[in-house]
A = this chain, B = another copy of it.
């Protein structure tokens, strides 16, 4: 699952710590999401979309599935 979190955060000139505070998660969680270490839970994905004023589909793109 790819995401545009880092791009959207940098557009706004926010630190990872600031974004984490807005989302009420730890800075390490923001870092892990940006670096693709894991995907957010669905509720967190909704929080991220709301904060950036976009849909989930505009921020997250599922991998092409395996045969």
- B43 contacts A1, C-beta separation under 8 Å: yes
A57→B55 contact, CB < 8 A: yes
What is the interface size of chain A, counting residues whose CB is below 8 A from a CB of the partner? 15
Q: Residues of B contacting A46 with CB < 8 Å?
A: 1, 60, 62
8 pairs, CB–CB < 8 Å, chain A vs chain B: A1-B42, A39-B41, A41-B42, A42-B56, A43-B62, A46-B60, A46-B62, A55-B56
Query: Which A residues form the contact surface with B (CB < 8 A)?
Result: 1, 39-43, 45-47, 55-57, 60, 62-63
Known: A39-B43, A55-B56. 6 other contacts (CB 8 A): A1-B42, A39-B42, A41-B42, A46-B62, A47-B62, A55-B55
